[in-house]
Chain A
Amino acid sequence: MSGGPEPRIPAGARMHDDLRRSVNRWQSLVIALGAVDEFTTEVVRLRAAQHHDCHT
């Protein structure tokens, strides 16, 4: 991706397998919960991503 911020984690860094899998699963499950409508969920997700300087 061009024009984005400089990555702070060097390329090739590997996350502990258990931590990567469990964090990804936790976040996927939370996003899929149905108590909050999809629009609100996405707005909150984008705001949280901005707060955490996350670009996914």
Chain B
Amino acid sequence: MTLCTAHTDDVFRQVLAHQPDVLAALSDAHEAAWLAVDNDLLELCRLRIASLLGFPPALGAGHGAPQLRAEQVAELSQWPTSAAFSTAQRACLAYTEQYIVDVAAMPAELVAAVLAELGADGLLNFANALLVVEQRMRLHLMWARLLPAVAA
């Protein structure tokens, strides 16, 4: 599949040029997702989603992850066995993988693990932030595939 090398923000501005309200709402939701969830945690999950979807992570980057270590990024695909990740990160990565593969079959245990680590508000924020981050990538991938002007 051909994927343009433009940043997701630029692709959104291009595709939604005639839908400024939708563009603004998507941008606001993205900003809010990074306000609502610990940035290191959300960036870890964003990188894992990118890997699973075959999305170049640099195209969607934009928010800092100040405490994220290079070791964690390097070992992200081995998070179940790597010692580089905290209990909260493991819970959220497990949730993220299930969310991407089959969200309708999300086991209660994975939800409970995130709830235990982040609390009720944190779980609610994390689930919605994950939706925003995931849908940005899927929209970018879909538009690059369907719209020649984006893929160019």
What's the minimum C-beta distance from A10 to chain B, rounded to whole angstroms?
A: 4
Q: Classify chain A's interface size.
A: 20 to 34
Query: Taking chain B's interface residues, is the majority helix, strand, or loop, or is none over half, making it mixed?
Result: helix
Instruction: Judge if B131 is at the interface, Cβ distance under 8 Å.
Output: yes
Answer yes or no: B123 CB below 8 A from chain A CBs: yes
- CB 8 Å contact bits of B99-112 with A (1 = contact, 0 = none): 00001101010010
| Contact count A vs B, C-beta below 8 Å | 75
A12 interface residue (CB < 8 Å to B): yes
Known contacts A25-B25, A29-B25, A51-B104; is A15 also within 8 Å of B19 by CB?
A: no
A22 touches B123 (CB 8 A): no
Chain B residue with the shortest CB-CB distance to A6: B108
Number of B residues, CB within 8 Å of A: 28
Please give the residue numbers on chain A whose beta carbons come within 8 Å of chain B beta carbons, in ascending order. 8-10, 12-16, 18-23, 25-26, 29-30, 33, 50-53
